[in-house]
């Protein structure tokens, strides 16, 4: 059977989401001789970026190239990576010995049964609703000083505040350019922070932002509500980070909202364990600030846990089948 087709029967693990977290998890499981199927919608969070930065040994690799290599590595060890969207996943009748089982359905009608699940669906970035902003996401509109800060160094940068937490964003981007403007855009900015900004040469604009202006080479500036335009080449903006939950409601995984409207994530414990026996979560779906390296590492760790859990279950089952002496 081709490595991009669905196997029949019950597999050891289904991985929902084939980004860095899911693929690294699948790689560990496949190398442990576990039957594993990754279902991936092919829509990773960093798709708009030119390269993956800050990843040792692979710095600057295009995101699609990194994932292509990851899929090849999983398939090399017998794992399956199947393009598709999971539309439902839910606990099914456990085995007679009480080992968990899950039923997974795909948008194209495909069906899978699994002993364990690794949820690695990533997150969605929600941008503030400012005309002209979204079209530049990942290029002229950035969020992460470690992902693309070096690439925009020394440019005229504007921090578009979305909450008081954007103050922290500003001091990080100040490390990358001497030409930084903070657009408070209706957020609170106390006197102490204004003093600190002045000391670092950060200009503050309190007039609300009306729209982002652009030209053939990308962002050119910010139009304010009073009609002025402030020239900027790059805008840094903190997005709201929402774990991707499509198709997962049937698992009833606990979720939590993080402070300062930062976002919403799946709650997970050590190595991605959840309150639902047999289900693990890794990557941005639970750790909203994880970069590619941390997401991949979390997937690998969760997979090692899953393999250990399966090894215990397999040994328990073997003991039950061994006649008493
Ligand atoms: C613009 C931008 C640039 C970035 N640049 C960098 C960088 O330079 N360096 C760095 O380390 N990090 C960078 N990041 C962060 C990086 O994107 C994340 O750390 C990483 O993508 C998290 O990996 P993940 O596997 O958790 O999720 P993702 O990579 O988002 O993968 C999740 C996958 O799950 C799939 N999926 C979701 N739901 C379903 C479903 N129901 N059924 C099937 N599949 C599903 C999605 O289609 C997707 O392919 C950047 C982020 C952004 C937004």
- Residue 204's H or E segment, with its range, is strand 203-205
Across the chain, which has 325 residues, the per-10-residue mean pLDDT values are 74 98 98 98 96 97 98 98 98 94 97 98 97 95 95 97 92 98 95 98 97 96 97 97 98 94 95 98 98 98 98 94 84
Determine whether the shortest distance from the Cβ of 25 to ligand 1 is under 6 A. Answer: no
Can you give the pTM of this predicted structure?
0.96
Q: 286 C-alpha to center of ligand 1: Å?
A: 12
The two tokens of residue 111 are 């069906």
Q: 126 C-alpha to center of ligand 1: Å?
A: 14
CATH of domain 10-124+240-321: 3.50.50.60
Determine whether the shortest distance from the Cβ of 296 to ligand 1 is under 6 A. Answer: no
| Closest ligand 1 atom to 51 CA | 8
Q: What is the pLDDT of residue 121?
A: 98
Q: How many CB atoms lie within 10 A of CB 109?
A: 8
CATH of domain 128-237: 3.50.50.60
| DSSP state at residue 50 | S
Determine whether the shortest distance from the Cβ of 166 to ligand 1 is under 6 A. Answer: no
The two tokens of residue 42 are 């092919």
Determine whether the shortest distance from the Cβ of 298 to ligand 1 is under 6 A. Answer: no
The ranges assigned to domains in the chain are 10-124+240-321, 128-237
* SS3 state of residue 263: strand
- Choose among 143, 214, 139: nearest CA to 173: 143
Q: What is the pLDDT of residue 260?
A: 79
Residue with CA closest to ligand 1 atom 6? 147
Q: What is the pLDDT of residue 3?
A: 58
Sign of the CA dihedral with 126 first, then 128, 131, and 132 last: negative
Domain 10-124+240-321 shares a fold with domain 128-237: yes
Determine whether the shortest distance from the Cβ of 117 to ligand 1 is under 6 A. Answer: no
Q: 43 C-alpha to center of ligand 1: Å?
A: 8
Q: What is the pLDDT of residue 230?
A: 98
């Amino acid at each position: 059977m081709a490595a991009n087709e669905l196997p029949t029967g019950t597999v050891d693990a289904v991985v929902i989401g084939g980004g860095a977290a899911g693929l690294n998890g699948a790689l560990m499981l496949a190398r442990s001789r576990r039957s594993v199927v990754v279902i991936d919608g092919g829509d990773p969070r960093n798709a708009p970026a030119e390269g993956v930065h800050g990843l040792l040994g692979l710095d600057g690799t295009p995101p699609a190239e990194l994932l292509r290599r990851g899929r090849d590595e999983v398939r090399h060890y017998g794992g399956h990576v199947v393009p598709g969207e999971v539309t439902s996943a839910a606990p099914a009748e456990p085995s007679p010995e009480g080992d968990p089982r899950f039923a997974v359905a795909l948008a194209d009608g495909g069906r899978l049964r699994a002993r364990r699940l690794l949820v690695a669906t990533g997150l969605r970035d929600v941008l503030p609703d400012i005309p002209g902003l979204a079209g530049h996401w990942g290029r002229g509109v950035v969020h992460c000083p470690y992902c693309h800060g070096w690439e925009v160094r020394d440019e005229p940068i504007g921090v578009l505040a979305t909450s008081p937490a954007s103050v922290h964003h500003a001091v990080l981007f100040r490390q990358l350019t001497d030409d930084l403007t903070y657009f408070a855009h209706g957020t609170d900015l106390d006197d102490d922070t204004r003093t600190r900004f002045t000391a670092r040469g950060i200009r503050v604009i309190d007039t609300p932002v009306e729209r982002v202006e652009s030209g053939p080479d990308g962002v050119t500036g910010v139009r304010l509500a009073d009609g002025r335009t402030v020239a900027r080449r790059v805008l840094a903006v903190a997005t709201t980070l929402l774990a991707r939950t499509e198709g997962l409601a049937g698992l009833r995984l606990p979720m939590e909202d993080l402070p300062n409207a930062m976002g919403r994530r799946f709650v997970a414990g050590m190595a991605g364990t959840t309150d639902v026996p047999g289900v693990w979560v890794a990557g941005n779906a639970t750790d909203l600030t994880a970069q590619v390296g941390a997401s991949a590492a979390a997937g690998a760790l969760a997979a090692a846990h899953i393999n250990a859990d399966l090894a215990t279950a397999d040994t328990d089952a073997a003991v039950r089948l061994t006649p008493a002496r």
